[in-house]
Amino acid sequence: MDRYFTKEHHELRELVARFAREEIAPVAREHDESGDFPWRTVGQMAELGLFGVPVPAELGGLGRDYLSYILVIEELAKVDASHAITVSAHTTLGMSPILSFGTGEQKSRFVPPLARGEILGGFGLTEAGAGSDASGTRTRAQRVEGGYRLSGAKVFITNAGVGEIFIVTAVTDPASGTHGITSFIVCKPTVDVAKAESQGFGHRAELPFSEGVRVGEKEDKMGWRASDTRELILDDVFVPAEQRLGNEGQGFANFMRTLDAGRIGIAALSLGLAEGALEAAGRHASTRQQFGRPVWEFQPVQFRLADLATEVEAGRHLTYHAAWLRDQGRPFSREAAMAKLYCSELAMRATLGAIQVMGAAGYTSEHPVERMMRDAKICEIGEGTNEIQRLVIARHLAAQLARS
Ligand SMILES: Cc1cc2nc3c(=O)[nH]c(=O)nc-3n(C[C@H](O)[C@H](O)[C@H](O)COP(=O)(O)OP(=O)(O)OC[C@H]3O[C@@H](n4cnc5c(N)ncnc54)[C@H](O)[C@@H]3O)c2cc1C
């Protein structure tokens, strides 16, 4: 793996691994059970700069490459996927579209507070009738003097309640299909201003909050339970023209590019889950005694762990390679889809396998592997289901065939 990593990468990995072990591991189970957003440890992640890893230092970030960001997500997910997705949705979905498609003014206004983790961000694409088929977007943006009026509702939006800055898509020209979809930057206060103020981060009163942005109740989910997922409702919201992101009609193409990069993050999150589960199972198997010896000594247990370790190694190559391509400015859409597809399915195999190796102990909340299994499932669904990843990969294969 050293072909990908420098000393700085290793140091960052070690820093995040230690933080996750010492600060997140002791509270992960409690937040999974209560579903409460982990404000305290999220604040600590902000202090470490984890909300702005691949953002230039002059815009408030750590000024690192995408591989560094991938390592951060992987290390967080080894311990707790809810913390990892909070950073991931904020970074690749909420903030990176402003960095990639924003004007100079939009970048200097919105990116620094996000990159410093002073507030959280997210991305509103999915709607009740537009999941895999995002071209089915119904949210409308009507041009009015000085800007637009947005009406519609986005569902299953990560950080919707706790966050303050969101990129949302809306139809500006219904006659133009996907070329009639446009992106906007929309601000609303966090649902928990008192909590945010007591923690010293999470709310900035000077943001241009728009009237009419509301959120639904927090979703009661199977996994990622400490991550905040809600409906984001746009009720005749005025958004000034200077908060349109990119040109009219560019929203669809831009979010496709945003999702490509986001998928490498989901691959890293899945990889972290697989590695965390494998480590827990290995440790348990070497101490648990049956038939007078550690269960580790039974060949079926060894073979299961050896197979999973091999798959984890393959997943690391796919994920790091996709991130490396992105850092080199080369095309990475195919590789990102492959990494997300492979690693999310691996996360399911690894967490289920870990439970099997640990027997009844693995089936209880005393150990993290049952939580990891619940957290792994959504990785096969979010940021494009795995069926959609297969379609993306098949499209690349077809194009390759046509060229040959
Ligand atoms: C915890 C969580 C967090 C999320 N965070 C966000 C967020 O921050 N922002 C956001 O915008 N969205 C978010 N989402 C939404 C997520 O991206 C969607 O759930 C996902 O894109 C799939 O859409 P869907 O759930 O509507 O499934 P559907 O599109 O209804 O799909 C149902 C089934 O049909 C299959 N299917 C659909 N079309 C095809 C096809 N053409 N070929 C083959 N199979 C197909 C799918 O693969 C799936 O198995 C989140 C979801 C969850 C659960």
C-alpha of 12 from chain center? 19
User: Distance from the CA of 50 to the center of ligand 1, in angstroms?
Assistant: 27
Report the residue among 137, 154, 155, 156 best suited for mutation to probe ligand 1: largest number of ligand atoms under 8 A from its CB.
Answer: 156
Three-state SS for the chain is CCCCCCHHHHHHHHHHHHHHHHHHHHHHHHHHHHCCCCHHHHHHHHHCCCCCCCCCHHHCCCCCCHHHHHHHHHHHHHHCHHHHHHHHHHHHHHHHHHHHHCCHHHHHHHHHHHHCCCCCEEEECCECCECCCHHHCCCEEEEECCEEEEEEEEEEEECCCCCCEEEEEEECCHHHHHHHEEEEEEECCCCCHHHHHHHCCCCCCCCCECCCEEECCCCCCCCCCCCCEEEEEEEEEEEEHHHEECCCCCHHHHHHHHHHHHHHHHHHHHHHHHHHHHHHHHHHHHHCEECCEEHHHCHHHHHHHHHHHHHHHHHHHHHHHHHHHHHCCCCCHHHHHHHHHHHHHHHHHHHHHHHHHHHHHHHCCCCCHHHHHHHHHHHHCCCCCHHHHHHHHHHHHHHHHHHC
Show the low-confidence residues of the chain (pLDDT under 50): none
β-pair partners for 183: 169, 245
- By residue count, the chain amounts to 404
φ/ψ region of 123 (left if φ > 0, alpha if ψ in -120 to 50, else beta) reads beta
- Measured from the CA of 160, which atom of ligand 1 is nearest? 8
Neighbours of 210 (CB within 10 A): 20
If you take atom 30 of ligand 1, which residue's CA is the nearest one?
Answer: 131
Mutate to test the pocket of ligand 1, among 88, 95, 132 (most ligand atoms within 8 A of CB): 132
74 is catalytic: no
**Alpha carbon of 382 to ligand 1 centroid (Å):** 6
Alpha-carbon Rg for the chain in angstroms? 21
Query: For position 64, what pLDDT does the model report?
Result: 98
Catalytic residue among 47, 231, 383, 387: 383
CA–CA distances in Å: residue 121 to residues 36, 239, 303, 348, 383: 18, 17, 43, 28, 16
341 C-alpha to center of ligand 1: Å?
14
pLDDT for 329-360, tens place per residue? 999 999 999 999 999 999 999 999 999 999 99
Burial class (CB in 10 A: 0-12, 13-18, 19+), 1: exposed
pLDDT of 134 reads 92
- Of all protein residues, whose CA lies closest to atom 16 belonging to ligand 1? 382
Q: What is the pLDDT of residue 3?
A: 81
Q: Which amino acid, one-letter code, is at 316?
A: R
The rounded Å distance from CA 18 to ligand 1 centre is 34
Closest ligand 1 atom to 159 CA: 8
Query: What is the residue with the minimal CA distance to atom 27 of ligand 1?
Result: 131
Q: Which atom of ligand 1 is nearest to the CA of 134?
A: 21
Question: In this structure, are residues 119 and 193 in contact, taking their beta carbons and an 8 Å threshold?
Answer: no
Asked whether 177 and 143 are in contact (CB, 8 A), the reply is: no
pLDDT at position 15, please? 98
> Whole-angstrom Cα distance, residue 65 to residue 223?
29
Q: How far is the CA of 215 from the centre of ligand 1 (A)?
A: 20
Nearest CA to ligand 1 atom 44: 387
Tell which residue, 336, 316, 313, has the closest CA to residue 326: 336
pLDDT digits (tens, 9 = 90+) for 139-151: 999 999 999 999 9
Probe target for ligand 1 pocket from 126, 266, 340, 341, with the most ligand atoms within 8 Å of CB:
126
Q: Which amino acid is at 381?
A: I
Residue 54 phi, psi dihedral angles, 5° rounding: -95, 30
**pLDDT tens, residue by residue, 62-92:** 999 999 999 999 999 999 999 999 999 999 9
pLDDT value at residue 230: 98
Give me the phi and psi of 333, to 5 degrees please.
-60, -45
CA distance 238 to 144: 9
CA of 62 to the centre of ligand 1 (A): 32
Q: Which residues line ligand 1 (CB under 6 A)?
A: 89, 93, 122-126, 131-132, 156-158, 221, 224, 229, 378, 381-385, 387-388, 391
Backbone angles phi, psi at 103, to 5 degrees: -75, 170
* Rounded Cα–Cα distance for residues 272 and 281 (Å): 14
The residue among 124, 135, 322 whose CA lies nearest residue 216 is 124
Biggest distance spanned by C-alpha atoms of the chain: 79
Facing residues of 237 across strands?
A: 150
